[in-house]
Structure 1
């Protein structure tokens, strides 16, 4: 199972904002997290629309974590930031060229693995995965 870069960057931004507990700019985030400004613009726009972060305009503006996001589960965050969970061609709505599709047991196994993965994230919040500011390297 592999998450997209977009989801990875989203999680890093949320964890960092939860850790620093203050307004920060995209330039500061880019330098600290080593993520391009263009990617951060896309990520922050989506996180703002999802109400996970608060965007502050103006001279002293930037972004900060919406306080309610601290207790949001990783399952919820990832479900909103990940485009799809197509583990194999047969998971997509467009059909498949796989010759085993009729009697395939692999899709069922992969579906169960995905369900277990997401259910394990349902018990973990953003606070649970945010290190203390002292442990940041």
Structure 2
């Protein structure tokens, strides 16, 4: 077997997310993103910060200016009638599934949480103080159903 002298490859997660998002939309289904709200550098409406995992509709009808980059997913959406910019780092994405069929993919999450970093300089717009809670991030209860 040849030795690998190349630099390590980048994560395939953003590429898989883009492909699955396109596949779900092309098949007339609604892409749902499952988000770990304990991840660092999230930008969410404050009232959604305590939901974990959080499920967001990322369909073209629900999102404006959807951008799926290698680092994050960002878009504008309405929450309680107000437009809000959402920023989801790749580490925060737990899964993407089609609402109608449940088909999609879950991802293993092994990144740091906002609670685990004492010097967190997060740009999160989450509210509330979870200083009393020292919970480990829950494993996703999701599984692929075909």
Q: Tell me the TM-score normalized by structure 1.
A: 0.26
Give 1 or 2: higher strand fraction.
Answer: 2
Q: Tell me the TM-score normalized by structure 2.
A: 0.25
Give 1 or 2: higher helix fraction.
Answer: 1
